[in-house]
Amino acid sequence: MNYSFEEKVHIPKPRVNNDVCVKCGECSEICQFGAINVFKNGVMIFKSLCHGCGACALICPVNAIKEIPEDMGIVKRGDARCGSLKVGMGYLNVGEPSGVVLIKRLKKWMSDEDDVVILDAPPGTSCPVVETLRNTDFALIVAENSPFGLHDLKMVLEMVDEMNIKRGLILNKHTDTYEGVEKYAVDNGIPILMRIPFDMEIASLYSRGILFASRYPQWKAEFERMFSTLGEMTGWLSR
Amino acid sequence: MVIQIAIVSGKGGTGKTTLSGALAELFENVVIADCDVDAPNLHLLLNPSVIEEYEYHGGRKAHVTPEKCDGCAICAQHCRFDAISLVNERAEIDEYACEGCGVCKLVCPKDAIVLHETLSGMFFVSKTHVGPMVHARLKPGEENSGKLVAEVRKKALDIAEKRKYPVVLIDGAPGIGCPAISTVTGVTYALVVAEPTNSGIHDLMRIVEMLRHLRRDFGVVVNRSTLDLPNTTKIHEYCRSEDVEIIGEIPHDPLVMRATEEGKSVMIYKESAAAEAIKKIHRVLMKKFNLD
């Protein structure tokens, strides 16, 4: 990867001017995140709890709160080795609780492009995952072939279906000994777009950071086939 | 004092739950806490029967009273989370984007917005064959999973103190975001499960940085260590240079997968190389915290 552009991302966090502050406590009361405590001698702000919403500054009757932008991470953009591919990534500062703002920033960049955008989401079903999924055309769900994978798949489906996003499934680390995931998908009408077997060679290539599709022409063809299926399912091929 | 041991990792799928489930079989008088509230899996190995159930309210969400809204859009201008748009000249809240801060309610000139408590999930106290277990379920897409993690841990610690159990074993959330931070805040020890892959090493470095930032005592377990020996060596070199202790290595072992498929811990397979390695890790922990 060659990143040609980098931008620091900030969120506004409150700073209190203690000379002006009258210790009325309204900021502490309005804050939904418990990030402000007001004492007789001053105001204490727990920055890691602050979401940067600005309510405290809005409500302060004497304008003692100023919002100062603070670094929370960076986003980068550049070209991948093969040239035509543009890649963006976000990097959360250690100690910051949530990367949602970074994801929003990245998605804003991506929406400037009229091409197909592939978003690599975090695992689970928490707020960064929801932010990644918001306003996307398709969710490609990767499920591991095990009871763990089946359980997590059900949670992800609940989220994706509630958000009304089209979806399909890739079965990863697929073996014939466990059928739970496959059966669930078939019973619930979830299209299975690919099965990647549990394979030591694939695992070993991954561990060294090598795309297995780049080593096996038959897998490259499989991915190309899936890509055009996605094109048909989302309708972008006909756009 | 109760020893709280958290099993964590910088990336998902490194084997936290496998290790947690196996260690739960080995510790005596242990309370188990599944803190991976976004994707809890430990119950699939421990098969808990629920004794107590609690509602979890993670925060609030804004609601618009359409009859009062005149579509002035002041709320949308002030919302920092892009959660409000005008639909048919009325404000509409995107529940997924709303963080419940209440700025919209504060600025609305028509008093058309209210904040409602939302039911964000549930948490449970259960009985298992290895001891009491506290686990939770966050509603998919809900905020504030860190707060739920804190609730689960508090409950588990309560039980341990009441029963005079020496250990709370915490199966953590992956990553370095809020649920991960909440998993390790104040724990006695964090056991980082690292995987010998390029991305695994990268994420190991991130979580080591986080644990140092939070000033926690921790050690590393290399899981599936035989999968990529050069990368396992790299982890050793990194740990040596950063002065991080390696507590153990678990070789790649197909029996782990077989046990998981059966919904059991790998410890049921006496001949398993992974089970043998986990027993060693357990002994190191017992010694470290004088639990013998």
Contacts of B171 (CB under 8 A, 6+ apart): B7, B16, B17, B20, B21, B32, B33, B34, B35, B36, B41, B42
For residue A83, the model assigns a pLDDT of: 65
Please indicate whether, in this complex, the C-beta atoms of A55 and B101 are within 8 angstroms of each other: yes
Report pLDDT digits (tens) over B120-153.
Answer: 899 999 999 999 999 999 888 777 688 899 999 9
Q: Which two tokens stand for residue B279?
A: 């027993």
pLDDT digits (tens, 9 = 90+) for A27-43: 999 999 889 999 888 89
Q: Which residues of A touch B199 (CB under 8 A)?
A: 209
Q: In whole angstroms, what is the distance from residue B54 CA to residue B52 CA?
A: 7
SS3 A166: strand
- Tell me how far apart the alpha carbons of residues A131 and A121 are, in angstroms, rounded to a whole number: 9
Q: What is the ipTM of this complex?
A: 0.82
Mutation for B interface: A207, A210, A211, most B CBs within 10 A: A207
Q: From the CA of B78, how many Å to the nearest CA of chain A?
A: 9
The alpha carbons of chain A give a radius of gyration, in whole angstroms, of 23
Which pLDDT belongs to residue A16? 95
Residues 6+ apart with CB under 8 A from B78: A54, A58, B103, B104, B106, B107
* Runs of H (alpha helix) within B15-66: 16-26, 43-46
Asked whether B156 and B34 are in contact (CB, 8 A), the reply is no
* B contacts of A155 (beta carbons < 8 Å): 38-39, 140
Cross-chain residue pair B103–A54, CB shorter than 8 Å: yes
pTM over cut 0.90: no
pLDDT digit string, tens, across residues B52-76: 999 999 889 999 999 999 999 999 9
Contact B138 A125 (CB under 8 A): yes
Structural domains of chain A ordered from first start: 12-71 (3.30.70.20), 116-238 (3.40.50.300)
In order of start, what are the domains of chain B with their CATH numbers? 3-47+129-288 (3.40.50.300), 58-119 (3.30.70.20)
Tell me the pLDDT of chain B (292 aa) as tens digits.
899 999 999 988 899 999 999 999 999 999 999 999 988 999 999 999 999 999 999 889 999 999 999 999 999 999 999 999 999 999 999 988 899 999 999 999 999 999 998 898 999 999 999 999 999 998 887 776 888 999 999 999 999 999 999 999 999 999 998 889 999 999 999 999 999 999 999 999 999 999 999 999 999 999 999 999 999 999 999 999 999 999 999 999 999 999 999 999 999 999 999 999 999 999 999 999 999 8
3-state secondary structure of B17: helix
